[in-house]
A and B are shown apart, each in its own frame.
Chain A
Amino acid sequence: MTMSWFEKLMPSRIRTDGGTKRAVPEGLWTKCPSCNAILYRAEMERNLDVCPKCNHHNRIGARRRLDIFLDEEPREEIGEELESADPLKFKDSKKYRDRLTQAQKKTSEKEALVVMAGQLKGMDLVAAAFEFGFMGGSMGSVVGERFVRGVDRAYELGIPMVCFSASGGARMQESLFSLMQMAKTSAALGRLRERGIPFISVMTDPTMGGVSASLAMLGDINIAEPKALIGFAGPRVIEQTVREKLPSGFQRSEFLLDHGAVDMIVDRRDLRDSIANVLGILAHKPDTPTMS
């Protein structure tokens, strides 16, 4: 390892090795990836994984997302039994099967979307959340089917659907099956639209590719979390195509708001209130539910 001139000047007893951590218990502290502030993990969690110093919205998993969004009771998971069938026996440097097993171990989820029927401040609804940790939240057959089963429930009961997306796009390992999930999920949302059942799309960091270009952009109301990366083509692909530096803040939530692609940017800690408010108005309720 090479040392900077400054490190070389330091007496060796002051130098610390960057890689090995000291006697702090594992997981007690956490570092904000945006401002590098060292934070007490419990405090970070209380703050819904939003950095109290710089307001950076850290990525969170699907189950935690639904947990902080829905009322504690009732909750019923939809489509949890579905598992990928690997229809193409896909193999690149690794087998798709093995990638799935690995993702399942890493996330404790069977697939990249979790769907639940539940309530928000006493209002019945169906909520779905992408698990970005599961193969980049990519959409294959199971994600598409779970989403549609959620939409079907919303349709049958005439209750709103809310989806939190966090995805790199369509899942390459299922090839055209994945591409078709874009059509499938968009068609299902079309039925809600026709019947006047609200669909609220919340785009979180990142929402890209085939997920952005289907279900995520089809909200009656499109919401983005602050500074989330949202777009169709990835910034690197665009940079290579146009051969110029991209404008700062390109494809971030604030950029989308400026260009008219989302209705509002909402802080994670205000999402329950905001969504309850608009859903209450869309449902002609006399006032906004106050339960927090």
Chain B
Amino acid sequence: MDLNFLEFEQPIAELEAKIEELRRVGNDSEIDIHEEIQRLGEKSRSLTENIFKSLTPWQISQLARHPQRPYLLDYLSRIFVDFQELHGDRHFADDRAIVGGLARIDGRAVMVIGHQKGRDTKEKIERNFGMPRPEGYRKAQRLMEMAERFRLPVLTFIDTPGAYPGVGAEERGQSEAIARSLQLMAGLKTPIVCTVIGEGGSGGALAIGVGDRVLMLQYSTYSVISPEGCASILWKSAEKAPQAAEAMNITSERLKELGLIDEVVPEPLGGAHRDVDAMARTLKEMLLVQLEPLCSIPVEKLVADRYQRLMNFGKFND
């Protein structure tokens, strides 16, 4: 299996290649190399543990954008049943960069909304690389309002480089669409749990990211601007992206320490793409743990608590 190793994973990649080679040899040879393979397998595992123990923010941002990173649709089929996708904003178009619809999780009816990146070139284009246009946010708004009417909790999944910087997006009021989403979510009379599953890119992420609980997968990132964008503005060179990633505190661990998110969802060794099933199981469990208590809070209190939560964001000297 080609795991598409990242640069910092090269030692693991080399070891895995050796194991693969031995396996092939082993099949047509009479010498028992089973033990050797097992030994190398263990070595690979501890090497991975070692490397992943001290990842830099820049390495984590590469994992968050890994080409094999599981996307919303990968989780949808593993976490939910009876999913029925709902299309369109009723004004202009159906934005395929945001997927939404009705589903059940562990018997509970919910509304699911999230970004979807594309896996292959064709799908990437169809999904616009997970970069929504105003129609996407307006579709999300429509579904959230529907969720409120039918008392469905909303589960959102964030994975976007950001809102799409295009002419049409500006013509159709990108700013207003994002702003309206923020305001709507802040006052929505139903529980909202948001999870960053990959890349939490700026306003395009936040537009479906205002909720009662915000979770992040361990190797996802969340920031006001991409490390490359920040570097090219503040350091005048996109090559300083690793420094920018460090300075901006974009990792789940740091953001939890800073009180900006609630929970970090641990990923399998080597990242979510190494074992999508295991990742989905952990995520599902965590979602249920978060959702359960929220559903029993009276809705007036729920919205008041959410408001207070938003008002507490910010650090300043009084």
Report B235 CB to chain A, min CB distance, Å: 6
Question: Bound complex: CA of A247 vs CA of B171, how far in Å?
Answer: 11
Residues in B whose Cβ lies below 8 Å from that of A250: 167, 170
Contact of A187 among B174, B176, B248, B310 (CB under 8 A): B310
A141 pairs with B247, CB closer than 8 A:
no
Q: List B residues 181-229 near A (Cβ within 8 Å).
A: 182-183, 185-187, 202-203, 206, 209-210, 222-225
Chain A's closest residue to B247 (CB) is A90
Give how many A residues have a beta carbon under 8 Å from the other chain's beta carbons: 64
A233 pairs with B163, CB closer than 8 A:
yes
B318 pairs with A242, CB closer than 8 A:
no
Is A212 part of the contact surface with B, judged by Cβ < 8 Å?
yes
Chain A's closest residue to B172 (CB) is A259
Is B105 part of the contact surface with A, judged by Cβ < 8 Å?
no
A182 pairs with B182, CB closer than 8 A:
yes
Report A137 CB to chain B, min CB distance, Å: 15
Chain A's closest residue to B243 (CB) is A92
A141 pairs with B315, CB closer than 8 A:
yes
Q: List B residues 224-240 near A (Cβ within 8 Å).
A: 224-225, 230, 233-236
Report B10 CB to chain A, min CB distance, Å: 29
Contact of A172 among B170, B179, B225 (CB under 8 A): B225
Given A218-B179, A233-B163, also A184-B171 (CB < 8 A):
no
Given A180-B260, A231-B170, also A85-B315 (CB < 8 A):
yes
Residues in B whose Cβ lies below 8 Å from that of A170: 202, 224-225
Chain B's closest residue to A251 (CB) is B170
Q: List B residues 122-172 near A (Cβ within 8 Å).
A: 163-167, 169-172
Question: Bound complex: CA of A212 vs CA of B163, how far in Å?
Answer: 13
A214 pairs with B316, CB closer than 8 A:
no
Is B274 part of the contact surface with A, judged by Cβ < 8 Å?
no
Is B73 part of the contact surface with A, judged by Cβ < 8 Å?
no
Question: Bound complex: CA of A203 vs CA of B235, how far in Å?
Answer: 29
Report A123 CB to chain B, min CB distance, Å: 25
Is A47 part of the contact surface with B, judged by Cβ < 8 Å?
no
Is A237 part of the contact surface with B, judged by Cβ < 8 Å?
yes
Question: Bound complex: CA of A191 vs CA of B306, how far in Å?
Answer: 13
Residues in A whose Cβ lies below 8 Å from that of B176: 213, 217, 261
Given A175-B223, A215-B179, also A181-B313 (CB < 8 A):
yes
Is A144 part of the contact surface with B, judged by Cβ < 8 Å?
yes
Chain B's closest residue to A237 (CB) is B165
B233 pairs with A172, CB closer than 8 A:
yes
Residues in A whose Cβ lies below 8 Å from that of B206: 179-180, 182-183
Chain A's closest residue to B224 (CB) is A179
Is A216 part of the contact surface with B, judged by Cβ < 8 Å?
yes
B311 pairs with A188, CB closer than 8 A:
yes
Report B199 CB to chain A, min CB distance, Å: 13
Contact of A241 among B166, B236, B248, B318 (CB under 8 A): B166
A176 pairs with B249, CB closer than 8 A:
yes
Is A83 part of the contact surface with B, judged by Cβ < 8 Å?
yes
B203 pairs with A182, CB closer than 8 A:
yes
A186 pairs with B183, CB closer than 8 A:
yes
Question: Bound complex: CA of A128 vs CA of B295, how far in Å?
Answer: 38
Contact with A along B269-292 (1 / 0, CB 8 A): 000000000000000000000000
A81 pairs with B170, CB closer than 8 A:
no
Is B175 part of the contact surface with A, judged by Cβ < 8 Å?
yes
Contact with B along A157-179 (1 / 0, CB 8 A): 00000000000001110111111
Chain B's closest residue to A215 (CB) is B179
Question: Bound complex: CA of A204 vs CA of B165, how far in Å?
Answer: 21
Question: Bound complex: CA of A184 vs CA of B164, how far in Å?
Answer: 23
Report B229 CB to chain A, min CB distance, Å: 8
Given A172-B233, A177-B314, also A183-B224 (CB < 8 A):
no
Is A32 part of the contact surface with B, judged by Cβ < 8 Å?
no
Contact with A along B235-258 (1 / 0, CB 8 A): 110000001100111100001001
Is A194 part of the contact surface with B, judged by Cβ < 8 Å?
yes
A216 pairs with B317, CB closer than 8 A:
no
B165 pairs with A88, CB closer than 8 A:
no
Residues in A whose Cβ lies below 8 Å from that of B255: 176
Is B180 part of the contact surface with A, judged by Cβ < 8 Å?
yes
Is A286 part of the contact surface with B, judged by Cβ < 8 Å?
no
Question: Bound complex: CA of A279 vs CA of B133, how far in Å?
Answer: 33
Residues in B whose Cβ lies below 8 Å from that of A242: 166-167
Contact of A88 among B164, B202, B210, B247 (CB under 8 A): B247
Chain A's closest residue to B131 (CB) is A241
Residues in A whose Cβ lies below 8 Å from that of B209: 183
B203 pairs with A213, CB closer than 8 A:
yes
Report B280 CB to chain A, min CB distance, Å: 26
Is B178 part of the contact surface with A, judged by Cβ < 8 Å?
yes
Is B8 part of the contact surface with A, judged by Cβ < 8 Å?
no
Report A103 CB to chain B, min CB distance, Å: 15
Question: Bound complex: CA of A246 vs CA of B234, how far in Å?
Answer: 25
Contact of B179 among A91, A174, A176, A186 (CB under 8 A): A186
Given contacts A183-B206, A232-B175, 18 further A-B contacts (CB under 8 A): A90-B248, A92-B247, A93-B234, A93-B236, A144-B313, A144-B314, A170-B224, A172-B234, A176-B248, A177-B313, A180-B260, A180-B314, A183-B313, A187-B310, A188-B311, A214-B178, A232-B178, A241-B164
Interface of B toward A, CB cutoff 8 Å: 163-167, 169-176, 178-180, 182-183, 185-187, 202-203, 206, 209-210, 222-225, 230, 233-236, 243-244, 247-250, 255, 258, 260, 307, 310-311, 313-318
- 5 A-B residue pairs with CB within 8 Å: A176-B258, A180-B260, A191-B307, A231-B170, A232-B163
- The 8 closest A-B CB pairs, nearest first, are A233-B165, A187-B186, A141-B314, A87-B315, A180-B313, A92-B234, A186-B182, A213-B178
